[in-house]
Amino acid sequence: MNSPLPSLIEPAQLEAVLGDPELLIVDLSQPQTYARLHVPGAVHVNPATLVCGLPPAPGKLPSPAQLRALFAGIGYRADRHVVIYDDEGGGWAGRFAWTLEVIGHHRYSLLDGGLHSWVKERHPCESRANTATPSPVGLVLQPDVIAELSTVLAALGDPATKIWDARSREEYLGLRSGSLRAGHIPGAVNLDWLELMDPARNLRLKPLPTLRAQLDALGIHQGHTIITHCQSHHRSGLTWFAAKLLGFKALGYHGSWAEWGNHPDVPIETTV
């Protein structure tokens, strides 16, 4: 590539560099969607491989061995620029971007609107599966983008840290829960991940000034550290990416509400 790609890339920008050997395009759509159509050259990563899958917090990071196997299997190299997309508006793509940061890889772009914008705006597609020759990958995990339960507990009452709950309003209020306990982390602010997308623009992120204004209205201002979560750090993959794009120091709480809401001894706020 002649010039670096932006963190948020337009479909036309990606089409212009298709076939570049420095590029690794990763499709995080559902397997049946990838089998039907995908960006030319994209390798598929099943979203289920991004999480450990173990109760009570199935959304936590997989083991280091599982991560090494995942990245080895897609032809990952530290010198490649990774472009990521999914078929749902950015949740899994954002989770993969966060995972790249976890392994210390910073050269990546998220396709704005994902497969929705790519297909609806008539960019080229293919249906044949792309594979890579597996090769050993050495990974060193970077804890500075990972929020653990202890991290969140330590942040309670810290005016420099804001907790962004990306779940639905019903989940936040405690009217619905996927865990034993319902409600939200004390002091957390709620902005549903769906509120970041613009359906009129094929599920692209809303313009950055609009996103910044949404966060400002919730008391999240430049200079704050953001810890974001949902039920399993899937939906909050997108909110983590958006926060980072806006210049915040952002951490993903990978245990998310599945861990917090199933823990008997952590504080919870609720309206019911």
Residues with active-site annotation: 230
How far is 120 from 202, CA to CA, in rounded Å? Answer: 8
Collapsing DSSP to helix, strand or coil, 244 comes out as helix
Show the beta-strand stretches assigned E in the chain. Answer: 8-9, 23-27, 43-44, 81-85, 108-111, 146-147, 161-165, 189-190, 197-198, 204-205, 225-229, 249-253
Task: Name every residue whose Cβ is closer than 8 Å to that of residue 128 and which is 6 or more positions away in sequence.
Answer: none
Specify the length of the chain in residues. 272
Q: Is 148 exposed, middle or buried (0-12, 13-18, 19+ CB in 10 A)?
A: middle
